[in-house]
């Protein structure tokens, strides 16, 4: 039971520790959903938004973390 608790705590801390990245990914997913569901664009456009947005967020997060650790 302790292992399950430890795993759940670790998963929760992964998402909470970088709230900026988590909120950014949720925003990208929402934009992709709006494009495909409400604007009736091709699902490939939504996939492109997801791919491009998530890659951009990861690059921004890594550079932000590196900048903070340099200080």
Q: Is the confidence at residue 51, as pLDDT, over 70?
A: yes
* Rounded distance between C-alpha atoms, residue 62 and residue 67, angstroms: 9
Q: Which residue has the tokens 């890659």?
A: 55
The pLDDT tens digits of the residues spanning 28-49 come to: 999 999 999 999 999 999 999 9
Task: Report which of residues 50 and 23 the model is more confident about.
Answer: 50
**Six token digits for residue 29:** 């997913």
Q: Is the confidence at residue 1, as pLDDT, over 70?
A: no
Cβ neighbours for 28, distance < 8 A, ≥ 6 positions apart: 49, 50, 53, 54, 57
Percentage of residues of the chain with pLDDT beyond 70: 99
């Amino acid at each position: 039971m302790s292992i399950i608790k430890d795993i759940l705590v670790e998963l929760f801390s992964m998402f909470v520790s970088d709230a900026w990245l988590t909120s950014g990914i949720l925003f990208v997913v929402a934009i992709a959903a709006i494009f495909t569901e409400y604007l009736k664009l091709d699902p490939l456009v939504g996939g492109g938004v997801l791919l491009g947005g998530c890659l951009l967020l990861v690059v921004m997060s890594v550079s932000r973390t590196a900048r903070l650790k340099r200080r």
